[in-house]
Amino acid sequence: MAKTAVTIRDVARVAGVSQSAVSAALTGNGRLSDETKATILQTAKAMGFEPNPNARRLQNKGINRMVGLFTLDLDLSVGTRKIKIIRSLLTRQGFDVPIHSCSYHHEGSTQNTVREMRLLCHQRPRAIICNTTDLTPEVLVALDDYRTDGGVVVCYDRPVDIACDQVVFDRNDNSYRATKHLLELGHRDIGFFEVNCIRPSSIRLEGFSRALAEYNVLPNEDWIFGNILEEDFEDDGARMAAYFLQLEKRPTAVCIVNDFAAIAFIAELQRAGLRVPQDVSVVGHDNRPIARYCNVPLTSVAHPVETIAHNVVDLLLERLNGDSEAKCRIETIQGELIVRESTCPPSTSLS
């Protein structure tokens, strides 16, 4: 029976009761003796019975107000803030919005993530909103199966090969703007620090390289730094600073893809006697509120969290309230450079 879904009929047959009695025991409705109810529940559990969410909705006059939110990880920065805003907007509209999250930096993570996605799809929510950052093909297949079976899907953050509405954050453009700002100030020795593993196809690294190419500047591999560890952003920034300080020749400016990491980086450099921006200019990413209030107010490229979240919800509501067969839409969101005190032209006194 492990290969076939157990039904109420199966439970009723094994327990020796009617299907209506099984339904009453599972829902808590109707009048059953404690002994009969206990027998039914024990039988259902032993047989591996799982209630059909569609059947429950039929009991509730077919109302389905569930929108599942799926994401790999819950960070302490922009990723979780997007989820918070999306969930808040939808709950105000009367939707139930459970969050399904699955960490991805450990052995067997792909299987766990696929299992979590299929668990969400099995509940047959009215729609699924999915953060596509670092999702593997296997997870996307499970999500697309839900879509082809009639489910509504809205994806956000990174583009995916699924025929659904998408809100894409242009990370390439963010790194390009940060790097170009430094180039326009006169810097030519520029480092690039990313707070996760830099892959050959890193979208942010592509934007960094694109800006350098416009000024005929070749990237220095010694100044491109990433990490493969799951650490706090501040720890990442401290590790970046240690790496920077041991360089024989240092860049005059750096792009750091996270404001918290950038602030920790600056703090460690100041402890070592360096000045920001006089000795090294620093551009962060995300424009979190802390960027305005730290010791050296941080130049940063905004991650437009609110815009992304609102666009996701708008696309979803339009899809649910309109033509479900309409052409899929892809909206691309770009950030804005906010210049503060952590950047200036390179010092002529530097060798």
Residue 146 φ/ψ, nearest 5 degrees: -60, -40
Higher pLDDT, 25 or 315: 315
CB distance 139 to 110 below 8 Å: yes
**Model confidence band, residue 55 (pLDDT cutoffs 50, 70, 90):** low
- Helix and strand numbers (H, E) in the chain are 13, 12
Domain boundaries, the chain: 8-51, 67-170+305-333, 171-302
Entry pTM:
0.78
pLDDT at res. 322: 81
**Model confidence band, residue 106 (pLDDT cutoffs 50, 70, 90):** low
**Model confidence band, residue 351 (pLDDT cutoffs 50, 70, 90):** very low
User: 3-class DSSP state for residue 144?
Assistant: helix
CB distance 176 to 212 below 8 Å: no
296-328: pLDDT as tens digits: 999 999 999 999 999 999 999 999 888 767 789
- Measured in whole angstroms, how far is the alpha carbon of residue 136 from the centre of its chain? 13
Average pLDDT over residues 52-61: 51
CB distance 12 to 45 below 8 Å: no
pLDDT at res. 229: 55
CA atoms within 13 A on the CB side of 282: 34
**Model confidence band, residue 242 (pLDDT cutoffs 50, 70, 90):** very high
pLDDT at res. 104: 56
Higher pLDDT, 336 or 26: 336
Decide if 67-170+305-333 and 171-302 have a common fold. Answer: yes
**Structure-block tokens of residue 182:** 């430094």
14 has a pLDDT exceeding 50: yes
The angle that helices 259-271 and 233-245 make with each other, rounded to 10 degrees, is: 40
**Model confidence band, residue 350 (pLDDT cutoffs 50, 70, 90):** very low
* Cα 94 to Cα 309: distance, rounded to the nearest angstrom: 17
pLDDT at res. 87: 93
Mean pLDDT, rounded, of the chain: 87
Class of the 171-302 domain? alpha beta
* Backbone torsion region of residue 226, taken as left when φ is above 0, otherwise alpha when ψ lies between -120 and 50, otherwise beta: beta
**Structure-block tokens of residue 317:** 């509501």
pLDDT at res. 149: 87
**For residue 304, what are the contacts with CB-CB under 8 A and spacing of at least 6?**
169, 333, 334, 335, 336
Classify domain 67-170+305-333 by CATH architecture.
3-Layer(aba) Sandwich (3.40)
CB distance 147 to 171 below 8 Å: no
Average pLDDT over residues 119-131: 92
pLDDT at res. 122: 87
* Cα 313 to Cα 308: distance, rounded to the nearest angstrom: 9
Give me the residues paired with residue 332 across strands.
168
Residue 332 φ/ψ, nearest 5 degrees: -105, 125
171-191: pLDDT as tens digits: 999 999 999 999 999 999 999
